[in-house]
Amino acid sequence: QKEVEQNSGPLSVPEGAIASLNCTYSDRVSQSFFWYRQYSGKSPELIMSIYSNGDKEDGRFTAQLNKASQYVSLLIRDSQPSDSATYLCAVNDYKLSFGAGTTVTVRA
């Protein structure tokens, strides 16, 4: 059974700080990894995709992938109140498997 696990939340960070989200997955053959942001009552919105080991940066977001450790993370730098949402880690093999999500609250 494929599993995707995220660090339990909720995660509360002050405005301007770095929010760090972690995710592990059980299936070694997984090839593609995604972070989605979901605001309350809205649908998931893709914020990052990563396929190769290492770091990928997009604005204030950095995704890190380590396939040997089966670990993917997301860093949000200079956190803003608008970053308050649930972040879903997703791993794609023949289908997209989601973690339970980590709820982030950025305190002004």
Partner 1 sequence: DTEVTQTPKHLVMGMTNKKSLKCEQHMGHRAMYWYKQKAKKPPELMFVYSYEKLSINESVPSRFSPECPNSSLLNLHLHALQPEDSALYLCASSQLTGGQETQYFGPGTRLLVL
Q: Does 45 bind partner 1 (CB under 8 A)?
A: yes
β-bridge pairing 102-107 and 11-14 = parallel
**Residue 2: both structure tokens together:** 């494929």
Q: How far is the CB of 32 from partner 1 (least distance, A)?
A: 5
Residue among 71 and 98 whose Cβ is closer to partner 1:
98
Give the residues across from 54 on adjacent strands: 65
Three-class SS of residue 48? strand
Using CB under 8 A, pick the residue from 7, 64, 92, 105 that binds partner 1: 92
From the CA atom positions of the chain, what is the Rg in Å? 13
Q: Does 59 bind partner 1 (CB under 8 A)?
A: no
Q: Which range, of 12-20, 45-53, 63-71, 75-83, touches partner 1 by CB under 8 A? A: 45-53
How big, in percent rounded to 5, are the helix, strand and coil portions of the chain? Answer: 5, 55, 40
Q: Does 18 bind partner 1 (CB under 8 A)?
A: no
**Residue 17: both structure tokens together:** 């700080």
Residues binding partner 1: what is the number (CB under 8 A)? 20
Q: Which residues bind partner 1 (CB under 8 A)?
A: 31-32, 34, 36, 42-46, 49, 51, 88, 92, 94-96, 98-101
